[in-house]
Structure 1
Amino acid sequence: MNTLLPEWIEGGPLWSRIAQELAAAIGKGEYAPGVQLPSEHQLAADFGVNRHTIRRALSHLCQKGLLRTTQGSGTFVENLAVDLVLGKRTRHRHILAQAGLRGNLLVIRSQAVLANPEQAEALQCPIGSAILHMHIMGEGAGQALHVSERYFPLPRFAQMESIVQSTGSITEGFKQHGVNDYTRQVSHISARLPSKAVALGLGQSATRPVLLVKSINVDVNQLPIEFACAWFAGDRVSLTVQHDEH
């Protein structure tokens, strides 16, 4: 963990940078679930800042669900808490790296299907058009963080399954189909109880809520190239949406 940070860091306030470093340390297991963090006084000394700056960083992480503060006892890490950032260019490996984790996408199964009204609207194709439907698990640090259903237009992305199977990366799949850059057009987040299949994939009880993220990715010409429904383990993941990414 960095110490003696300057009083101002390009790209954001100091408390935000400290919060990011603490979140990364939690993600890497430097602070295990349930462990008490050092006191505000000790953290202030470690980072070379005042206690007010530390207090604001800790408050932010408590709001994100990564930490909890117990009056008179201190600040503790929530159980298996990871903060994942959804930005304009959301990439699975990149958002894990930001959280201090490593992971891959694993293809569970894949098949060509006919687009229903929701899928057709998202991908801007006629209802009944052939699209590729992939069931995927996203893992980090050896644990399931999300399971998802991904839809891609056919025949444009006919080889996507085999590429993701071999590389663990949808971004690489797009590259090998001639899409070198793409952006997130929309992310819609809601909380709900999982189906039995989703709960099984995440390794959790069906009575524990999950976060459902429905998203659309587009190419440089603003043509939809992917519609995804991803279920995140609600007690392992918090999600931050950044709109100011360049």
Structure 2
Amino acid sequence: MFQGKRWEFVRSKIEENIASNSLAPGEKLPNDLELAKLYGVNRHTVRYAIRALEQKGILRVEQGRGTYVVENPTPYLLSAETRLTDNLIAHGRLARRNILSSETIAADERLAKNLQLSIGDEVFSIRTLSFQDEVPIVIAHSYFPAQRVPGLLDEFSGVNSISKALKRVGVEGYTQQWVQINARMPTEEEARLLGMSTSMPVFIKENLDCVDGKPLKFGENVLCASRINFLINFAELKSR
């Protein structure tokens, strides 16, 4: 007989099912009521066990969709030229992108500093939500100096690809000049878009892309921490 709290019993049974592959990575769990009947406990006990497994990074709770076994995180190579979508495809993870917003805004102090503009200058703002295997993985905010890439928003709306849109306005290649990564808890909107709990952390990846030493794009990405592993190639760094 199991010795311990009832929620610990539920937690251990779910962990056993995952370890035996009865519950595979990415698989959806039965709902709370079904699990409560299965293990002879109440729904509150089930939710407590699920919350504990979510905090351990074993389960993920998607608001309005259900609870899933966490997949193996996707390796994300940080390099001067690697793009997230290319990275997902390279690892056999299907990638797609939804456009959340595309508009012209005025540069605030932060954008002006990073893009070497004056406060109030026009900036193209593109906000997207990217998926891997139909699981939301990153909210991407991209900001461009409007005077350097005229027509970018129109081109982007037609191809839904920043790289392709940039080529259409005459920008063939660009590289990341710097990357900064921090972690914090998500806002309610971020958690909703990423299908995750507000109790789980996100990575905040900021980066500056340049062409011929001039700022082209300032990016701020919000990534679900349990779905990404950042990798750094030190051999590439030494060669620079």
Q: TM-score, normalised by structure 1?
A: 0.65
Corresponding position of 1:4: none
In structure 1, which of residues 213, 235, 243 is the aligned counterpart of residue 226 of structure 2? 235
Corresponding position of 1:58: none
Q: CA deviation at 1:34?
A: 8.3
User: What SS does the aligned partner of 1:175 have?
Assistant: helix
User: What SS does the aligned partner of 1:235 have?
Assistant: helix
Aligned residue identity for 1:233: C
Tell me the distance in 2 between the aligned counterparts of 1:168 and 1:96: 16
Corresponding position of 1:156: 148
The 5-angstrom pairing of residues 110-125 of structure 1 reads: 110-125=102-117
1:135 and 2:127 are equivalent in the alignment: yes
Corresponding position of 2:54: none
Number of equivalenced pairs: 176
Percent sequence identity over matched residues?
A: 23
In structure 1, which of residues 214, 219, 224 is the aligned counterpart of residue 215 of structure 2? 224
Instruction: Choose 1 or 2 for highest CA Rg.
Output: 2
User: What SS does the aligned partner of 2:226 have?
Assistant: coil
Corresponding position of 1:47: none
Deviations for 1:118-163, whole angstroms, at most 9, x for unmatched residues? 1111111111111011111122211211002111111333432333
In structure 2, which of residues 25, 28, 36 is the aligned counterpart of residue 33 of structure 1? 25
Corresponding position of 2:94: 102
Corresponding position of 2:158: 166
Q: CA deviation at 1:101?
A: 1.2
Question: Aligned-residue CA RMSD in angstroms?
Answer: 2.5
- Runs of 5+ consecutive residues of structure 1 not aligned to the other structure: 1-31, 36-65, 68-77
Distance 1:160 1:92, change over 3 A: farther
Q: Which has the higher helix share?
A: 2
Tell me the distance in 1 between the aligned counterparts of 2:94 and 2:172: 23
The 5-angstrom pairing of residues 163-242 of structure 1 reads: 163-219=155-211, 221-242=212-233
Tell me the distance in 2 between the aligned counterparts of 1:162 and 1:99: 31
